[in-house]
Amino acid sequence: MRHMLVLACLLLLAESAQAAGRLAEIRVVDRDSGSPLRTYYHHGEYWVAGKPGARYAIEIRNTLHQRLLAVTSVDGVNVLTGDTARWDQNGYVLHGEEAYEITGWRKSQTEVAAFEFAAAPNSYAARTGRSANIGVIGVALFRERVPAQIASSSPAPPAARENGLESDIRGGADIDERSAPLGQEGAAALMPAPATKLGTGHGVREASYVEYTDFQRASSSPNEIVRIRYDSRQNLVALGIIPRTTTLAGDPNPFPGSPLPHFVPDPPVCNSGQPRQCVHD
């Protein structure tokens, strides 16, 4: 079958950032700083805090020694096709131990519209009438069906050159009409989703080059589903996901002209025999 091939940069992922997933490590990256957003694990779910207006990317690193298909959705929408996400749709294929950065909604074989955090009503999903699943990133991972006689002898892909880094990352998916909607399986075991205040907008156009490749799934259902939820930091603090240890930027102060609370200070210390020469502790 004919599928989509994506040429992308090999990524250097921060070892200190917690990743979600086993077959592939999934992180959400702040594209302005280049650093992965901190991942919070709360009641069995992964969360990240987004900042309105900030661009972000989804980093996927294949942990296997064989190719892996990642069907990816944002806010319940397939990032390649724009369709309501299902497992049987197009995705990205990564060679063994390679990584790829998904930076936006694919518009063509040469362009994407950047992912950027936005108020939920301004998200791409809400603007296209699909606001029910705003605030979640999903990656359905599939192993490849490989004939036994060549499973251990597949040649490594040739290196490509883009933005000064070497890579050859391939994207694709085949179709299985029996597949269920992305993320539906196992949903009953997850906590109910809270009201989401942050979504993903349809940002500026950026260059991103793709071709086509073939990929045969080893099974019609995903071998693993990775789900990362997101919202503003303020909302995650309110939900108890992020501990409130410091004052958040933008917190309103009802008495802005008043000093911080304080108690009675100690009296001055006076030198012996010189009562008028006193200093404070």
Mean pLDDT split into 10-residue runs, the chain, 281 residues: 47 54 96 95 94 96 96 96 93 93 93 96 96 96 82 43 29 33 40 66 91 91 96 93 69 66 70 57 52
Q: Which of 96, 89, 119, 99 is nearest to 222 (CA)?
A: 89
Q: Which of 217, 222, 214 is nearest to 140 (CA)?
A: 222
Q: How many domains does the chain have?
A: 1
Q: What is the pLDDT of residue 178?
A: 28
Structure tokens at 93: 């294929």
Q: What is the pLDDT of residue 250?
A: 59
Q: What is the pLDDT of residue 200?
A: 97
Sign of CA dihedral 230, 234, 238, 243: positive
Give a yes or no: residue 189 inside a domain. yes
Range of the domain at 120: 5-238
State which amino acid sits at residue 212.
Answer: Y
Q: What is the pLDDT of residue 135?
A: 96
Give a yes or no: residue 88 inside a domain. yes
Is residue 233 classed as helix, strand or coil in its secondary structure? helix
Q: What is the pLDDT of residue 187?
A: 36
What distance in Å separates the CA atoms of residue 175 and residue 173, rounded to the nearest whole number? 7
Name the strand (E) or helix (H) holding 136.
Answer: strand 136-143
Give a yes or no: residue 245 inside a domain. no
Q: What is the pLDDT of residue 260?
A: 65
Place of tokens 């040469």: 110
Give a yes or no: residue 132 inside a domain. yes
Give a yes or no: residue 199 inside a domain. yes
Give a yes or no: residue 274 inside a domain. no
Q: What is the pLDDT of residue 244?
A: 78
Give a yes or no: residue 281 inside a domain. no
Q: What is the pLDDT of residue 102?
A: 96
Sign of CA dihedral 162, 72, 172, 156: positive
User: In this structure, are residues 157 and 168 in contact, taking their beta carbons and an 8 Å threshold?
Assistant: yes
